[in-house]
C-alpha cells in the first residue's frame, strides 16, 4: 500500500498499520492517496480502419480512416456522365459509416419517440428493409435526434465521403470490378429485385465491409449537388436550404450501369420516393 504520509497524521497512520493491518481498509478511505500509485484512466484508443462498432441505439458502424482517392470516373467507363470528372480528393478526418442503410425498424422507433409521421412502405414490408419515402430533411431530423440523445454527432455522409467509402480502395466501375454480370452477388437492381426493396445486408459487402452501397435504394448525401466538382462535394450543406442534394448508390429499379461507384444523381430535398433512403455517419 503506497500512501503519502505527512506530519502527525502520517505518524498515527503508520502506528495503526503496524498494530492492526486490517484497519487499513477503513483508514484508507479517508487518507490521501499517492497520485503516483493511482492507476491512470486509459483514454479510448483511436479507432483503426475497418473497426466495427455498435452504438447506443443498436446501429452498426464501420470506421473509415482518412486517405486520398480519385473521385469521379474515367472517360471510357460505360454509362459515364459528364458530371463525373476525375479529380483527387483527400478525406482528412476518419468517420464511422453505417454498415447498412437505415431501416424501417430504426426510423419507426424515432417516429414513435418524436411523434413524427411514419414513412410509407409500399406494402413491401418494414422491419429490416431500408426506410423509403423520406425527405432529405426527414433524414436530417433523424440524425439530429440521435445526436441529442447520445452526445455524439450523427449526420449524412458528404458526397466525397460516400464515394470514398463505396469505392473502398478500388478504381473500377463497381467495388467488385468492372463486370455488371456479377451484380446478383452484390446488389439488388432491376434484374433481380422483383420491383421492390429487400432487407439490408443480404448481398455481399464491399471490400470495407459496407453493405448495399450498390443498389437497393438511392442514398441521400449531406452535400449540395453541383454539376461541376467545385469543392461542394467535400462540404455539408446548409440544413435549412431547399437546394438540390446529391444522391448516390442506385436502387432496386435501376439497370446495373446506374449503380456504379461514381454515378451521381440529384434530387430536390423535399422528394419522398419509393427508391430513396439514406445511411448515417457518426463523427469520431
* Residue spans per domain, the chain: 7-37, 52-283
> Alpha-carbon distance 132 to 152, whole Å?
25
Instruction: Flag the least confident range among 175-179, 182-186, 215-219, 275-279.
Output: 182-186
Binned at pLDDT 50, 70 and 90, residue 194 comes out as very high
Closest listed residue to residue 142, CA positions, set 155, 133, 131: 155
Q: What pTM did the predictor assign?
A: 0.84
Q: What is the mean pLDDT of residues 104-118?
A: 98
Cα angle 171, 224, 92 (rounded to 5 degrees) comes to 50
- Assigned C-alpha cell, 78: 460505360
> Alpha-carbon distance 29 to 19, whole Å?
18
- Per DSSP, 177 falls in state B
The 10s digit of each residue's pLDDT in 87-96 is 999 999 999 9
The 10s digit of each residue's pLDDT in 208-246 is 999 999 999 999 999 999 999 999 999 999 999 999 999
pLDDT given for residue 131 in this prediction: 98
What's the whole-number average pLDDT of the chain? 87
Give the Å distances, CA to CA, from 197 to 51, 129, 254, 264, 275: 28, 7, 12, 20, 8
Q: What is the mean pLDDT of residues 254-260?
A: 91
> Alpha-carbon distance 96 to 111, whole Å?
24
pLDDT given for residue 256 in this prediction: 87
CATH of domain 52-283: 3.90.1580.10
C-alpha 63: how far from its chain's center?
A: 8
- Assigned C-alpha cell, 15: 502506528
Amino acid at each position: 500500500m503506497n500512501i503519502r504520509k505527512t506530519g502527525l497524521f502520517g505518524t498515527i497512520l503508520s502506528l495503526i498499520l503496524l498494530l492492526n493491518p486490517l484497519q487499513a481498509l477503513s483508514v484508507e478511505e479517508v487518507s490521501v492517496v499517492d497520485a503516483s500509485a493511482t492507476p491512470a484512466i486509459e483514454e479510448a484508443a483511436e479507432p483503426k480502419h475497418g473497426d466495427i462498432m455498435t452504438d447506443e441505439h443498436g446501429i452498426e458502424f464501420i470506421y473509415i480512416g482518412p486517405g486520398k482517392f480519385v473521385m469521379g470516373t474515367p472517360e471510357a467507363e460505360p454509362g459515364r456522365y459528364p458530371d463525373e470528372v476525375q479529380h483527387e480528393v483527400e478525406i482528412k478526418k476518419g468517420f464511422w459509416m453505417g454498415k447498412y442503410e437505415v431501416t424501417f425498424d430504426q426510423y419507426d422507433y424515432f417516429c414513435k419517440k418524436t411523434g413524427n409521421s411514419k414513412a410509407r412502405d409500399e406494402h413491401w414490408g418494414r422491419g429490416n428493409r431500408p426506410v423509403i419515402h423520406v425527405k432529405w430533411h426527414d433524414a436530417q431530423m433523424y440524425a439530429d435526434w440521435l445526436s441529442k440523445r447520445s452526445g455524439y454527432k450523427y449526420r449524412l455522409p458528404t458526397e466525397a465521403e460516400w464515394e470514398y467509402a463505396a469505392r473502398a480502395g478500388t478504381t473500377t466501375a463497381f467495388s467488385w470490378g468492372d463486370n455488371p454480370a456479377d451484380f446478383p452477388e452484390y446488389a439488388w437492381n432491376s434484374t433481380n429485385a422483383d420491383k421492390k426493396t429487400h432487407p439490408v445486408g443480404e448481398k455481399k459487402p464491399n471490400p470495407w465491409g459496407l453493405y448495399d452501397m450498390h443498389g437497393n435504394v438511392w442514398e441521400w448525401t449531406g452535400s449540395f449537388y453541383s454539376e461541376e466538382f467545385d469543392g461542394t462535394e467535400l462540404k455539408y450543406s446548409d440544413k435549412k436550404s431547399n437546394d438540390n442534394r446529391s444522391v448516390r448508390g442506385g436502387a432496386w429499379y435501376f439497370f446495373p450501369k446506374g449503380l456504379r461507384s461514381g454515378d451521381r444523381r440529384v434530387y430536390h430535398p423535399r422528394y419522398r420516393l419509393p427508391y430513396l433512403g439514406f445511411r448515417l455517419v457518426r463523427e469520431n
